[in-house]
Amino acid sequence: MALPQSSTERLPMGALLALAMTGFICIVTETLPAGLLAQISSGLEVSSSLAGQMVTVYALGSLLAAIPLTIATQGWRRRHVLLLTIVGFLLFNSITAWSSSYGMTLVARFFAGASAGLAWSLLAGYARRMVAPHLQGRAMAVAMVGTPVALSLGVPLGTWLGTLVGWRTAFGLMSGLTLVLMVWVLVKVPDYPGQSASQRIGLRQVLLTPGVRSVLGVVMTWMLAHNILYTYIAPFVAPAGLGNDVDIVLLVFGLAALGGIWLTGRLVDRHLRKAVLASLGTFAAIALVFGFSAQSATVIYAGVLVWGLSFGGAATLLQTALADSAGEGADVALSLNVVVWNSAIAIGALTGGVLLDQIGVGIFPWVLLVLLLAGLWIVFSARQHGFPEGQRQSPDFS
C-alpha cells in the first residue's frame, strides 16, 4: 500500500469522517432488520425467522465478496472504489425498500453485504494513506468511529424510525444518506491511484508475511469472545433482573466504546502492543468477574461499561497492526480481516446458541476467559512481528 502522495501534520477530519459515515452505513444496513423483524415478516408475508435471514445473507455477501472484490479492484483509483461501495448501498437498499418479493429482497441484501465487504477492506488503508505515518493510528481511530456510533445510536434510531414510518421507509432513508455521502466524498475525500501490477501481492504471499497470521489469530479469538457475549447479552443479563433493560445495557456499552475509540486514538501510534494487551487483559478480567458475580445488576452495568471501553478501539488496533505487518499487501490483508471478523460473528452466534441451549449463560464467562487468554498468548508471542514492542514503525512505501 503506497503511503500518501501528500501528507499533512493535521488530520483531514472532513475526509476521515466521510469514511466513518461509510462504516456507519455498513453497520446500520446490516443490523436494521433485527429491530424490525415483525414488520418485515408481515410486509413480505414470511415468518420472523425467514425475515431474520436478511441479516444472514448480508454477512454471507461480505464473507464471500471481500477478498475477490478487493483483489479485482487493486488497480483502480481509490475514490472510484469507495464510490462504488456507496453506490452499492444506494442501489441495494433502494431495492430492499421497494421489493415485494422475499427472494429479490435476499438477493439485494446479499449484494449490499458484498458492498460492505469491499468497503471494510478499503476504509482502513484509505485513512492511513491520507496522513503521515506517525498519524496513521489516530486517522484510523477517526475513520472507525462510525461503528460504535452505529451500534450505540444508529441501530436504536433506525428501529425507532422503522416503527414510526415503516420498515421500507427506514431503508429508503438509508438510501438518502448514501446520496449525501456521495457528495461528501466527492467534495472532501482525496483520490489516490491504485497499485500497479508490480506492486500487487498475492493472497498466499500476504498470508505468509510475518505477523499477518498472528494478528488474524487475535482477531478471531477476541471477536469470537466478544460476539458470544454481545449476541446473547439479553439472556446473559436476565438473571441480574435486567431482561427488560437490554437497550440501556447496550447504550452503556456503545457510549463506553466511543470513549475507547478516543483513548485508542491517543495510544495506538506509540503504544499499540501495550494497548492490545491492556484491552484483552481488561476484557479477561471482566469475564472473570462475570463468572462469579453476574447476578448483580451493579456488576453487570460496571462490567459492560469497562468491556465497552476495552472494545471500542479493537478495530483500530487490530487493523493498524495488520496493515503494518502486511506492508504493500495491506489491502488484501484487510480483506482477510473482513472474512475473519465476520466469521467470528457467525461462529460466535452459533457457539453461543449451543452453549445457551445445552449448558446455560453461566458458562459464557469461562469460555470467554479461555478465548481471551489464547489471544493474550498470541500477542505475547508476536513481539517481533504482528505486535512489536515500542513505538509502531509504519513502513514507508512512497
Domain locations along the chain: 13-188, 203-381
Residue 200 has what pLDDT? 66
Pick the CATH number of 203-381 from 1.10.10.60, 3.40.50.720, 1.20.1250.20, 3.40.630.10: 1.20.1250.20
* pLDDT in the model for residue 369: 97
Q: What is the DSSP string of 198-246?
A: TT---HHHHHHSTTHHHHHHHHHHHHHHHHHHHHTHHHHHGGGT-TT-H
For residues 321-331, one letter each, b for 16 or more C-beta atoms within 10 angstroms of the residue's C-beta and e for the rest, the string is bbbbbbbbbbb
**Cell output for 216:** 488474524
Show the low-confidence residues of the chain (pLDDT under 50). 1-8, 396-398
What number of other Cβ atoms are within 10 A of residue 241's Cβ?
Answer: 12
pTM of this prediction? Answer: 0.80
The architecture (CATH level 2) of 13-188 comes to Up-down Bundle (1.20)
CA pair distance 271, 268, nearest whole angstrom = 5
Amino acid letter, 198? S
The amino acid present at 79, given as its one-letter code, is R
Give the pLDDT confidence of 162-195 residue by residue, as tens digits. 778 889 999 999 999 999 999 999 999 999 887 7
Q: Do the domains spanning 13-188 and 203-381 agree at the CATH topology level?
A: yes
- Helices marked H in 73-152: 78-98, 102-129, 136-143, 146-149
Cβ within 8 Å of residue 5, ≥6 positions away: 192, 398
pLDDT value of position 155: 65
Task: Identify the pLDDT of residue 396.
Answer: 45
CA-to-CA separations, 174 to 14, 119, 143, 309, in angstroms, rounded: 20, 16, 19, 28
